[in-house]
Each structure stands twice: as structure tokens, then as C-alpha cells.
Structure 1
Amino acid sequence: MSKFSEVKDLVMGLEADFEKFYEKGNQAAGTRVRKGMQDLKNMAQDIRKEVQDMKNAAG
């Protein structure tokens, strides 16, 4: 479950930047949000591959 915790931590770590960008229009915060979302995408892809590999190995 450590992968799940990593995803949660990443999302929660972006909360302040989301607020700064959407509520205050802070452009630098928007850049950090975009980078964080790219990191999340990459992390999700890695998890998907790991799950698929584990399914294939078990089957």
C-alpha cells in the first residue's frame, strides 16, 4: 500500500498550489500544479504496469 500513500501524499501536497492558482490566479502555482499532475500521471502509469505484471505472473 506504499504506492497508494505516495499518490495520496502527492495529491495532498498540491492542495495549496491548486488553491493559489484557482482562487488567486498565481501563475507560478499553476506551473507547480501542472508538474505535479505530470508526476501523478507517471506514477499512475508505473502502478498500472506493476499491477498488470503481477496479474500476468499469477495467471
Structure 2
Amino acid sequence: MKRFEQVRDLIMGLEGDFEKFYDKENQAAGTRVRKGMQELKNLAQEIRIEVQDIKNKS
């Protein structure tokens, strides 16, 4: 469940930047959103690999 918590924390941490970008059109917040989404993508890939490895060991 640690991995799920990492995903949740990352997404919740970006909430303010999403609001600033979409509601207030703050461009710097958009950059932070893009960076956070890249981190989320990388984390998701790591989780996919980890799950596949555990599944293959069974």
C-alpha cells in the first residue's frame, strides 16, 4: 500500500497547482503540473514493473 500512498500524495500535492493553472491561468503552475504528471507517469511505470515481477514469481 506504500506505492498507492505515494500516488495519492503526489496527486493531492498537485491540487493547488491545478487550480491555479486552470482557474487563474497561472503559467508557472502549469509547468509544475506538467512536471508532477511526468513524475506520476514514472511512478506508475515503476509500479507496473513491480506488480509484474511479483505476479511472475507466483
Q: Check whether TM > 0.5.
A: yes
Deviations 1:21-48 (A, max 9, x none): 0000000000000000000000000000
Task: Output the aligned Cα RMSD.
Answer: 0.2
Task: Give structure 1 regions of 4+ aligned residues with deviation exceeding 2 angstroms.
Answer: none
Alignment-derived partner of residue 45 in structure 1: 45
Match of 2:34 in 1: 34
User: How many residues matched?
Assistant: 58
Shift of 1:19: 0.1
1:12 CA displacement: 0.1
How far apart, CA to CA, are the structure 2 residues paired with 1:2 and 1:46? 13
Gaps (5+ residues) in structure 2? none
Alignment of 1:2-41 (within 5 A): 2-41=2-41
CA distance in 2, matches of 1:22, 1:6: 24
